[in-house]
Each structure stands twice: as structure tokens, then as C-alpha cells.
Amino acid sequence: MAVDKAYSTSDPSTLFKHKYGKQSDATFNASNVILGRMKKNELFTGDSYIINNPMSFSGGVGNTLLPKTNVGKYENATITSKQAYAMLNVSREAIKAASDDAGSFVRLTKEPTKKALESFMRNESRQLFGDGSGILGRPLGTETAVTGLGTVASPYVVTFSTTNYANSFHDAYWEERDYVQYVSGMGTNPDNSGGVVESDLLEIVEVNPTSRKVYLVGTSAALAALVAGVLAVPATSGFCMQNSYQGDFTGLRAVANKSVLYDAGSTTQTLYGVALQRRWKMLVTTKSSDAITKPFLNDMMLTIDRRSGKTPNMIVCGYTQFGKVLNLSEDQKRYDLMPRDSKFATAQFAWQAVEYMSTKGAVPVVVERMVKDDEIWFLHDDFIEGYFRPGMAQWADEDGAIFSRIPGKDTYEARYCLYGEIFITPPFHGLLNGLAV
């Protein structure tokens, strides 16, 4: 098991200096528009929470004679609480050394907490577009064999496929300094269930998006065996975020995967305890590496509207498809014309937003880094709701202080916690995947 690392005077040493200087901005984006827009309920108390969902109309209709009536069909969805954390350790000496502007780029008690919160939100975004399993990626078993010793000088090098975007590799899921675990025995289950988690933690030390290689440091009997046998990670195995296997919040991909199985004839799929059925599934359309076109967008929006009576109010793309949508939407971009500078005979302009014109009006097209390269999501944020314990996400500071001393150590610890579940009502959303990248 890996040892927790604390901010100290030696690691990371870049927080300390002899003269004041400016710290560079982070080179990643941790924001998520959908998390900001979705409804949030902090009244989730007790063991579980039951949400009643109508699956049909009530009464009876007809002409000529009084109609025979029938009761409406309702299903109770049940959600149970899950736990999400961000944790931070800071040595007492480091706090003292970085306690004023003359001794640090930023106050140590401020900067690490800020970055811990950004990482927490990044992980929430991953879960929102995930399948609930915590799996970050599963190679296909046909890639380059695993190499390395798991040491700093010779990390394990795991190569992922250039295809199979649904389960293989998405660089936004992998971040240096995260800890992951090896999971084996998942078979071909699309929900990544049935696996066995190796207890040891592996630290991500490098991610190469171009070659789809992830470099890992730590102990792993499974990876060591693959290296010895000159084998690739099998298709039945993968990697999960530390201690998160089958513990993520329910995400959009979980709804999509179950909907695909139901459409293929499976009668055993359930979501929040409700059996998949016509009014309890998401629209999922898979293309065969076709380039995105406006008719594809129109078909998704109109089909969801016809099936559910509601038009999605957001179209969410990854950067690859967003660039392609931009090229399709020259006539629907909004432009800002900047005021002319009196000193120069020039003016500046830039596009402000891209919108799709739906049956209910303009719908924004949003870019989100956690969306994979070959897919576009069609969402209605009124039907994505977070049910959380009172107080929602907050620092565990029962004694009034964010940082608490770790017994027996000259180190302080801070924990950021969120307890609850994300509830997604399936028929109001859609996924278009398998697009050309």
C-alpha cells in the first residue's frame, strides 16, 4: 500500500523561495458546466431515498362511449448514498515556512486546498460521464506488452488501444500524481462488473496521450507477471481510481450502457432498482465511424423530444467533436464585436457561443473534457439531480478548523467530503457515439 504524501519543505520544494515570485497557472481545466447547472437536493437523510416515477398516463380516453379507466403505472426508484473524498496532508514545518508572502509563492494553507478542490471537481466530472465502476480504462489485450519494474527509474508502462473509445483510453481520466489500482476478471461485462481489485496502489507518474501510454510506479503482482511473460494487459482487466471500484456515483454512461443492453433484448437490466423499459431508458445511437452531420443532430434532438415530450437543453461534446460542430455551425455562432480602439483603425471580433436551433429554441453546445472523442451527449439538466446529505460537499471540520493534526505526526490533514448519489431520469437524455475522430 502506498504511503500518503504530505506537502513538506522537500516535496514539492517549488513552493518555497528566497525572493518573491509569481506562480504559474495550472495547465488543466477542472470546471464542469453540467455539474453547475444540475439541480441539487441536500435533504437526503436516512438509509435510502425513494423517488416515484410515472411510466404511463392515468385514467382512460375514448370517443362515443364513456371510456374504461385504468390506473397509472408508477415505479419507485431507490438511491443509496455513496462517498466522495479529496484529502490533503501538509507538514507543520511547511506551513510555517510558507506562512507569509516573503517566504512562498502562495500561502501553503491556501494553494493546496484550492488544488485539492479542483481535483475533487475534476473527479466529479469524470463520474458524471462514467459508468459507476470507477474504471479509468481497459486495454484490448492486443497492445504492446507491459514493460518496467514499477520503480521511479523504471516505471511500469501500460499501452492502450487506438480504438474502442468506450472502454480503452481517454487522457482526461488520467492525471499525474493520482493513485490507481489494477482490476482483473471483469470478463466482457460492459458495466465493468465482476472484477477483483489488487490492493496495492500505483502512482501515475506520466501520461502520453499521443502514444496512449501510462507510466505507473508501485507494487503490482499482476503487472510484474505480465512483464515476466512479455504480455499486454488482457481485455478482461483494467485500472480504477484508488478505492473506487464499483463505488462511483451513477453516471450517464451507466444509463447508456444499460439502455443499449435493453435494446439488444436483455430483460435483466435495472437502474436505481427499476427495470429498464420503454419509458425508463436513454436513446443511444451508434454510428460506424461516420462524420458528424446536422441530420445526425436533428435526429437525436427530435427523437428524444418525441419519446419524452422534452427537448434536451444542452449538447455536450468533447474537444474533437466540438471542433467538428463548429465547422457545421457557421450560421449559428454568436459573435462579439469589440469596441474600436481610438488609437488604431482596427476592430476585433470573436465567437461567443455555438447554439443548435431546436423545436423549443436555441440550445447551447458545450465542450467538456470528460466526454470521449467519438461521442456527443444530448442532456436535459432538469432531469439530472444530485441527492446529497445535508451540507452537501464541505470540509470535514467538526472542530471549526479545516486542518486537523494527525496523531503521532508533525503533519496536518484536511478532508473534503460529499455523500449522496446522482439521479438521472433516462428518457430525457441521449448519446450519439461511434463518430469519426
43 contacts 390 by C-beta, under 8 angstroms:
yes
Q: Which domain holds residue 363?
A: 49-58+72-118+282-437
Which of 10-14, 208-212, 328-332, 420-424 is the least confident region?
10-14
Q: Which of 227, 248, 269 is the last residue of a domain?
A: 248
Asked, for residue 253, whether it belongs to a domain, the answer is no
- DSSP structure class, residue 70: B
Residue 24's pLDDT band (cuts 50, 70, 90):
very low
Regarding whether 423 and 356 lie in a shared domain, the answer is yes
Q: Which pLDDT belongs to residue 377? A: 97
The average pLDDT across 209-227 equals 96
Quick one: cell of 20?
518573491
Q: Is residue 125 part of a domain?
A: no
Measured at the CA of 315, the angle between CA 377 and CA 278, to 5 degrees, comes to 50
Residues 325, 225 share a domain: no
pLDDT of residue 38: 83
> Where is average pLDDT lowest: 19-28, 116-125, 134-143, 317-326?
19-28
CB 385 within 8 A of CB 48: no
Residue count (the chain)? 437
Strand ranges (E), 276-410:
283-290, 314-317, 333-337, 349-358, 361-367, 376-379, 384-388, 394-395, 404-405
Whether 128 is covered by a domain: the verdict is no
Single out the residue in 229, 248, 267 at which a domain terminates.
248
Single-letter residue type at 401: A
- Tens-digit pLDDT profile for residues 243-302: 999 999 999 999 999 999 999 999 999 999 999 999 999 999 999 989 999 899 999 999
- Is the pLDDT confidence value at 153 over 70? yes
Asked if 306 and 426 sit in the same domain, the reply is yes
Q: How far apart are CA 133 and CA 251, in angstroms?
A: 9
Alpha-carbon 155 to chain mean position: 26
96 shares its domain with 145 = no
Element (H, E) at 114: helix 111-128
Query: Which of residues 57 and 152 earns the better pLDDT score?
Result: 152
Alpha-carbon torsion angle 219, 222, 225, 227, nearest 10? -70
Sorted by sequence, the CB contacts under 8 Å of residue 150 that are 6+ apart come out as 156, 202, 216, 217, 218, 219, 220, 223, 224
pLDDT confidence band for 89 (50 / 70 / 90) = confident
Q: How far apart are CA 138 and CA 140, in angstroms?
A: 7
The pLDDT assigned to 157 comes to 97
Is pLDDT above 90 for 221?
yes
pTM recorded for the entire structure = 0.85
CA dihedral 252→256→257→260, nearest 10 degrees, is: 180
CB-CB contact of 393 with 422 (8 Å)? no
| 29 vs 118, more confident | 118
Q: Would you state the pLDDT for residue 206?
A: 97
Banded pLDDT at 117 (limits 50, 70, 90): confident
Q: Is the pLDDT of residue 22 over 50?
A: no
Tell whether 167 is covered by a domain: yes
Domain annotation covers residue 202: yes
243 & 362 share domain: no
pLDDT confidence of 131, banded at 50, 70, 90? very high
User: How far is Cα 21 from Cα 104, in angstroms, rounded to an integer?
Assistant: 8
pLDDT averaged over every residue in the chain: 83
Q: Determine the pLDDT at residue 336.
A: 55
85 has a pLDDT exceeding 70: yes
Query: Within this chain, do residues 161 and 188 fall inside the same structural domain, yes or no?
Result: yes
Is 163 or 349 the better-scoring residue by pLDDT?
163
Residue-level pLDDT at 263: 95
381 located within any domain: yes
**Nearest residue to 253 via CA among 380, 371, 84, 420:** 371
- On the CB side of 385, CA atoms within 13 Å amount to 15
Whether residue 21 is contained in a domain is answered as no
The string of pLDDT tens digits covering residues 400-411 is 567 777 777 777
DSSP per-residue letters across 78-108: EEE-EEEEEEEEEEHHHHHHTSSTTTBSS-T
Q: Looking at the structure, do residues 422 and 287 belong to the same domain, yes or no? A: yes
Domain containing residue 150: CATH number: 2.40.30
CB atoms within 10 A of CB 162: 13
Contact, 167 vs 137, CB < 8 A? yes
**What phi-psi label fits residue 212: left (phi over 0), alpha (psi between -120 and 50 degrees) or beta?**
left
More confident residue, 388 or 62: 388
The confidence band for 312, taking pLDDT boundaries of 50, 70 and 90, is: very high
Of the two residues 206 and 357, the one the predictor is more confident about is 206
Cα separation, 130 vs 2, whole angstroms: 26
* SS3 (DSSP) at 306: helix
At residue 37, the pLDDT reads 82
Asked whether the CA dihedral 110, 389, 136, 31 is positive or negative, the reply is negative
Q: Averaged over 66-78, what is the pLDDT? A: 76
Decide which of 248, 273, 302 is a domain's last residue.
248
Helix, strand, or coil here: 294? helix
316 and 187 together in one domain: no
Residues 303 and 437 placed together within one structural domain of the fold = yes
Kindly state the percentage of the chain with pLDDT values over 90: 49
> How far apart are alpha carbons 66 and 278 in whole angstroms?
28
Instruction: Please tell me the predicted confidence (pLDDT) of residue 18.
Output: 46
Residues 384 and 317 in one domain: yes
Residue 20 pLDDT grade (very low, low, confident, very high; cuts 50, 70, 90): very low
Same domain, 293 and 402: yes
Whether the pLDDT of residue 68 is over 90: the answer is no
- Total domains in the chain come to 2
Q: Is 214 left (phi over 0), alpha (psi -120 to 50) or beta?
A: beta
376 Cβ neighbours under 8 A, 6+ residues apart: 292, 297, 300, 315, 316, 317, 321, 325, 431, 432, 433, 435
Least trusted range by pLDDT, from 159-163, 183-187, 264-268: 159-163
Cell readout for 403 is 486542518
Does residue 11 sit within a domain? no
Residues 388 and 423 in one domain: yes
Q: pLDDT digit string (tens) for 39-67? A: 888 878 887 888 877 777 777 777 777 77
Model pLDDT for residues 313-370, shown as the tens digit of each residue: 999 999 999 989 888 866 555 555 555 555 555 555 455 567 888 777 888 899 999 9
Q: What pLDDT sits at residue 415? A: 82
**Terminal Cα distance for the chain, rounded:** 39
Which of 40-49, 91-100, 152-161, 338-347 tops mean pLDDT?
A: 152-161
Q: Which residues contact 391 (CB under 8 A, 6 or more apart)?
A: 42
Name the 3-class secondary structure at 169.
coil
pLDDT above 70: residue 169: yes
